Amino acid sequence: MSEETTSTATQSESVTPPESANGSIPKARFDEINERMKAAEALVATNTANADAARQAELVRKGEFETLTTEMQGKLEAAEAKAVKLDAYEAARRTALTANLSDEDKAAFGEMPLDQLEALVTRLNGQTPPAVVKKPAASSASGAELTREAIRAMTPGERKARSAELADYYQRLTS
């Protein structure tokens, strides 16, 4: 019987992979923990929603409609406050995006959905939209035009657009 208990205890222990030499966690271990965390968060959200639904059903069954109405009113007020903040943000963002456009462009593009307007203004300004990553040019693949000074002089948008090229450059420096 004691052998059975020992083997069960040994099986339940998890093996933690050692940290790499630079102190970072291996990607496979990170992905495993991240997936477990997301599953746990989803389970908590489901359980919370189920408990809330059961509590509401119990209040309805008991006839405590005032309590239920008060709770729903509080949730509605919180949602309305968030909606007002979101509307204010979208209006301010839309104003900022259209500030440099001509009156004709403002009339034509002013009512576009915000994400489409952001992409359009980015293209009109000659920048690469964030979702698009430029491939490095053949002449710069060797890293000849990249220097620390050139990288420091880049704007955040340029760094983002050339992120693959910069990663190659930094990898060559550390190799």
pLDDT at residue 159 in the model: 75
Quick one: DSSP state of residue 109? Answer: H
- Chain mean pLDDT for the chain: 77
Instruction: For residue 34, give both structure tokens.
Output: 């991240």
Q: How far apart are CA 67 and CA 69, in angstroms?
A: 5
Instruction: For residue 138, give both structure tokens.
Output: 């053949």
Quick one: DSSP state of residue 21? Answer: T
Average pLDDT over residues 99-108: 83
Q: How confident is the model at residue 6 (pLDDT cuts 50, 70, 90)?
A: very low
pLDDT at residue 117 in the model: 86
**pLDDT of residue 133 exceeding 50:** no
Q: How confident is the model at residue 152 (pLDDT cuts 50, 70, 90)?
A: confident
The torsion region of residue 63 among left (phi > 0), alpha (psi -120 to 50) and beta comes to left
Query: For a pLDDT cut of 70, what percent of the chain falls above it?
Result: 71
Residues in the chain: 175
Q: Report the 10 Å Cβ neighbour count for 169.
A: 20
Q: How confident is the model at residue 89 (pLDDT cuts 50, 70, 90)?
A: very high
Q: How far apart are CA 18 and CA 3, in angstroms?
A: 29
Cβ atoms of 143 and 168 within 8 Å: the answer is yes
Cβ atoms of 146 and 165 within 8 Å: the answer is yes
Q: How confident is the model at residue 51 (pLDDT cuts 50, 70, 90)?
A: very high
Between 66 and 110, the higher pLDDT residue: 66
**pLDDT of residue 34 exceeding 70:** yes
Average pLDDT over residues 140-146: 49
73-101 core/surface letters (b: 16 or more CB in 10 A; e: else): eeeeeeeeeeeeeeeeeeeeebeebbeeb
Average pLDDT over residues 149-174: 74
Q: How far apart are CA 20 and CA 37, in angstroms?
A: 22
